[in-house]
């Protein structure tokens, strides 16, 4: 049983909910809205997108996506980064996206830009917080086997997406959660400032 506590944003549904369950299974106390005496890790999973052609994105639509996917990461990292630095230890894991690396034609350009920004925040905070015992990493998933994917993508189009993935299948949400738990562990002190690609080979570097 772990004596560690993790604070998770966006844990009410989708990937965030799976991540929360995985941390709970690993013995963590999971703080969603409750207040605990101390917190050891922050996981930013909050995300939102709407596919809109780039030439049609309005200022309001842009601001909505940026607020959820980019501003939340900045201020979460600021608040918890300071808290962890004062304690001398902490882990931050930001859930980014393949879209932030390849332009994300299937998810909306504003979403792709926000997730690319989240990867940059990760590197900046990782560099600045490392001397204080705080590590910051990002995970960049490709297309995942989530209910929302099957509900929002027509079956014929989804089959084309899957056919384009080198491993020939959608990604496992529970595996993303497992990587998140790994990066949030006390032993992960030497993993810092990295974007962990979990995309089935869609993006290689």
Q: How far apart are CA 158 and CA 143, in angstroms?
A: 10
E strands, 40-130, where? 41-44, 90-95
Q: Tell me the C-alpha distance between 189 and 179, whole Å.
A: 14
> Is 111 in the active site?
yes
- Which of 13, 2, 11, 56 lies closest to 187 in space, CA to CA? 2
Vertex 78: Cα angle to 203 and 185 (nearest 5): 60
The H or E element containing residue 7 is: strand 5-9
Cα-based angle 137, 146, 150 (whole degrees, multiple of 5): 140
User: What are the start-end ranges of the E strands in 75-168?
Assistant: 90-95, 134-141
Active-site choice (28, 111, 132, 189)? 111
Could you give the residue numbers annotated as active site? Answer: 111
């Amino acid at each position: 049983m772990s004596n560690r506590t993790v604070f998770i944003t966006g844990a009410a549904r989708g990937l965030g909910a799976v991540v929360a369950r995985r941390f709970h299974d690993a013995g963590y106390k999971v703080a969603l809205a409750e207040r605990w005496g101390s917190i050891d890790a922050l996981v930013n999973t909050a995300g939102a997108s709407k596919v809109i052609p780039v030439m049609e994105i309005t200022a309001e639509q842009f601001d909505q996506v940026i607020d959820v996917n980019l501003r939340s990461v900045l201020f979460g990292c600021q608040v918890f980064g300071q808290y962890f630095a004062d304690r001398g230890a902490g882990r931050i894991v930001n859930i980014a996206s393949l879209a932030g690396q390849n332009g994300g034609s299937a998810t909306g350009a504003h979403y792709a830009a926000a997730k690319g920004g989240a990867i940059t925040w990760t590197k900046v905070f990782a560099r600045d917080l490392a001397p204080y015992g705080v590590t910051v990493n990002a995970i960049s998933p490709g297309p995942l086997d989530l209910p929302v994917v099957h509900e929002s993508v027509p079956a014929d189009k989804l089959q084309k997406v899957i056919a384009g993935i080198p491993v020939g299948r959608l990604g496992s949400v529970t595996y993303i959660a497992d990587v998140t738990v790994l990066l949030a562990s006390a032993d992960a002190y030497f993993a810092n400032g990295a974007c962990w690609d979990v995309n089935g080979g869609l993006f290689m570097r």
